[in-house]
Amino acid sequence: MKHLVGKPVTKKIEFMDSELEIRKLSVKEVLAIQGLVKKQNKSKAEDSQLGLLRDILRIAVVGAEDMSDDDFDTFPLGDLSNITEEVMSYSGLNNSEESGN
């Protein structure tokens, strides 16, 4: 089992008539996202939820690590939300677990 430590697990999904590769989140990444969710829940900023979505995509989508907020803002919001839901589901989480409900 030790030889698998740090090995990324990915799958391809459809996005805007193309394909993206998403990573299955590790326990460490899930804990980091839970921290981001807690921070977002305390924030009074109107775009804090959008910021959380961008952060999740940067962690989970192969090639999105260096994308700016402006880059993400060029995509339809519903499509970005769908990717996030796919990542959470692929990683063994659902929206109620993600938000702490």
For residue 6, report the phi and psi dihedrals to the nearest 5 degrees. Answer: 80, 0
Domains in the chain: boundaries: 14-95
Secondary structure of the chain in HEC code, one letter for each residue: CHHHCCCCCEEEEEECCEEEEEECCCHHHHHHHHHHHHHHHHCCCCCHHHHHHHHHHHHHECCCCCCCHHHHCCCCHHHHHHHHHHHHHHCCCCHHHHCCC
Q: Quickly count: other Cβ atoms within 10 Å of residue 95's Cβ.
A: 11
pTM above 0.85, yes or no: no
Give residue-wise pLDDT tens across range 17-59: 999 999 999 999 999 989 988 888 888 777 888 999 999 999 9
